[in-house]
Amino acid sequence: MSTRKLTDRERAGICLALFEGITEAVKIYPLCVDMDGKSMHPQVVRNRASLWRKSKPVQEYFNYVETVMNDRIEKEVALRMQAAEKDPSYNPGAATDYTNLDEFLAAANRMANTLEDEKDKQFYLKTIADLMRFKEGSQDKNQDIQRFYTPLLCRECPLYQKESESL
């Protein structure tokens, strides 16, 4: 007896359902199986969904996706716990105002301290250094003066107008 392979649509539907927390086969089945636009009696859909969900390939794929999701969740929790141990001020649930440069720098610094990969850590630290230089440069002597530069066409430029009038 040969076991059938799941279609791409079935795999995508199962992943979507698990990511959304949907576990009822009746809700997952229409996502995964092409019903050719037919409206079936709800009892028929329930029976087919139940049989489909109990099939071996579907069960195996459900178990596989759940295992992968749980592993990733466990890794994320472990990383957050390590980050909290390294930096007691680390609070992943706290909202950060990324429009405020100081808060953004603090969040980026916390993120850099939690990274294990040296290449990623160097990237974050370089970005932080660039932003700090930008912050220092923006605090120059003329804080009262704000300069706005707008694109100017040649015919709008006073120098061009003066030159063209003299010709």
- Six-digit token string for 72: 């990733």
pLDDT tens digits along 40-96: 788 888 888 889 889 898 888 888 888 888 888 788 777 777 777 776 666 665 666
Residue keyed to tokens 């990511």: 19
Q: Vertex 160, ends 157 and 162: CA angle to 5°?
A: 110
Separation between Cα atoms, residue 75 and residue 62, nearest integer Å: 20
pLDDT of residue 141: 55
Q: What is the pTM of this model?
A: 0.46
Q: What is the pLDDT of residues 129-143, one digit of tens each?
A: 887 877 776 555 556
Confidence of residue 1 (pLDDT cuts 50, 70, 90): very low
Domain boundaries, the chain: 8-72, 89-136
